[in-house]
Structure 1
């Protein structure tokens, strides 16, 4: 029974660390446990979009995920130290520790405090105490490093959103911003830098998946909204140029960057209900300029999914500044 309980406790600890390191260091998105937890939290946040809690979505995801990692680690460690009376004893009397005292011992082992009033009572416990105290130190230091990296990625995400928003406050202004340029000189000269920033933020989806859940109620700082607007305008502007022109190639490169951003996203294209007819209604906006928008179903579905799970929709993308905002 003692051996089985130790194995169960160590299994919980191993599962926790696999999920933790997969999320923080692998560069391949969330671990299974973290993904489920954050998807549930995201749905709660979206349902409360008009409330204050929406403004703190990112930090809530980060703190809740970290808390659950620590909780699982604590549960696994406590299970190990509760496997037998001799696993933890009083440092002075040598008597077996009570359950509250084992709870206390578990806490200071994981925090590496090492007070010494309670000590491991056998060799197995001594070995496990050494390993677990070191593992607690690793989780804390790695977690802090991950936190700083997430904050930097969030700032980069907002910076790109603000950059695109300076071209115009809605699709109409962005469209006019490019149409007024002779030979698209601004786009041609800045396309490479903008594409690089888009791809840099795309990689953040994988390296720091938590960034996806730092949501915004403001159009200017919501990257997925700004990218959707830019995508819609570029798809129209591209129709003015021949395929072998520099302008067409630069626009195509930017569109490819946006597609890669969505491809590396956390939301599957089937994660939200997509209405092609509704989107066609919004895109009829371009008919007054004589343009017909050629739909790309896969991209449209991916955008719909990404917009929904960031708290937005196509109506917000096409909302003009002349329309009062909620």
Structure 2
């Protein structure tokens, strides 16, 4: 490689290092998802989604969590590693062998940067000049930052996934399905419909905050039906809308706050999956048949009044429908899973 061209390699190297640092700050500290992380997450997630959709194996979506986490950490590490390698290699003689004193080759620079950013400091290759010694220290500090932010990236995901499963399990055992949630709450819970509104409020708020801080959580899916938030959250949203628009009498305390949390969670899904073809073609689900509620003896408003109320929440229902479809669930599995399970049996 010509010496003049080689001397300019520090520029793309520095851009790589700065790009990773900025992405670490945005993804791990600020609210949202860095551009670099988004560029990593979207193709990996899209590949898994296409594989799951075309093969008919929904279980493939459960690999989104390890694939996205591993892919992100690998990209951050490799870009930082390659960036510092280009910075050191751009200046002949910046690094030399500790015993031979000969300028380090590209492979030797790559090896030196690897053990420097991992803070091992083996000392087989050294920087003879003061400037490059300082740059070695900077690279080591950069490596320490990378390790620290990697932990900051993984730990909140693990905590949020635990809370996602907690809510999904609660709703699965309370239903499952939108209308079963209502009937079982009225018949089997001492707090009645408040078990779907006030009792879940704190958990819904924590999940809402977690998804606002870490919106790519919407790309993570669970293998089992009972753990699937992308199935049970739409069911809860549909149940709350039925309670608000179809049941006669006073609304239970906490209903509006619970609906606001579900709406906020659906909006972070919309922002995260803005390019998702299922969301772009999102459909409003049909008006639910409330036969099971009538059979349970619940007082209902007229179908026309209920349909009118649902019409004002069409955008929310479309987002919930898209969320379920993104998890490879059908809407009948959200609304009336009992019928679906009988067919499966």
When the two structures are superposed, what TM-score results if normalisation uses the length of structure 2? 0.83
Q: Which moved more, 1:41-50 or 1:313-322?
A: 313-322
1:175 aligned counterpart, secondary structure? helix
Indicate the RMSD between aligned Cα atoms, in angstroms: 2.5
Q: Which moved more, 1:44-53 or 1:224-233?
A: 44-53
Asked if the contact 1:269–1:298 (Cα under 8 Å) also holds between the matched residues in 2, the reply is no
Runs of 4 or more, structure 1, over 6 Å off, are none
Asked if the contact 2:118–2:144 (Cα under 8 Å) also holds between the matched residues in 1, the reply is yes
2:298 is aligned to none
1:248-302 deviations in Å (ceiling 9; x for gaps):
45322211221122223323398431223xx21xx34226746444232221232
Deviation at 1:144, TM superposition (A): 2.0
Task: State which of 293, 306, 313 in structure 1 corresponds to 2:323.
Answer: 306
Give the distance between the partners of 1:88 and 1:154, measured in 2 at CA. 45
Give the distance between the partners of 1:174 and 1:51, measured in 2 at CA. 25
Give the distance between the partners of 1:190 and 1:313, measured in 2 at CA. 23
Asked if the contact 2:177–2:333 (Cα under 8 Å) also holds between the matched residues in 1, the reply is no
1:31-54 deviations in Å (ceiling 9; x for gaps):
012112212222222223316543
Give the distance between the partners of 2:58 and 2:182, measured in 1 at CA. 33
1:251-262 alignment, distance < 5 Å? 251-262=255-266
Structure 1: stretches of 5+ with no match in the other structure: none
Alignment: residue pair count: 317
Matched, 1:85 2:92: yes
1:151 aligned counterpart, secondary structure? helix
Asked if the contact 1:61–1:210 (Cα under 8 Å) also holds between the matched residues in 2, the reply is no
Give the distance between the partners of 1:267 and 1:71, measured in 2 at CA. 27
Matched, 1:37 2:59: no
Give the distance between the partners of 2:84 and 2:319, measured in 1 at CA. 42
Structure 1 284/253 Cα, relative in aligned 2: closer, same or farther at 3 Å? same
Asked if the contact 1:241–1:248 (Cα under 8 Å) also holds between the matched residues in 2, the reply is no
Deviation at 1:145, TM superposition (A): 3.5
Deviation at 1:150, TM superposition (A): 1.4
When the two structures are superposed, what TM-score results if normalisation uses the length of structure 1? 0.87
Give the distance between the partners of 1:199 and 1:219, measured in 2 at CA. 23
1:274 is aligned to 282
Give the distance between the partners of 2:58 and 2:314, measured in 1 at CA. 33
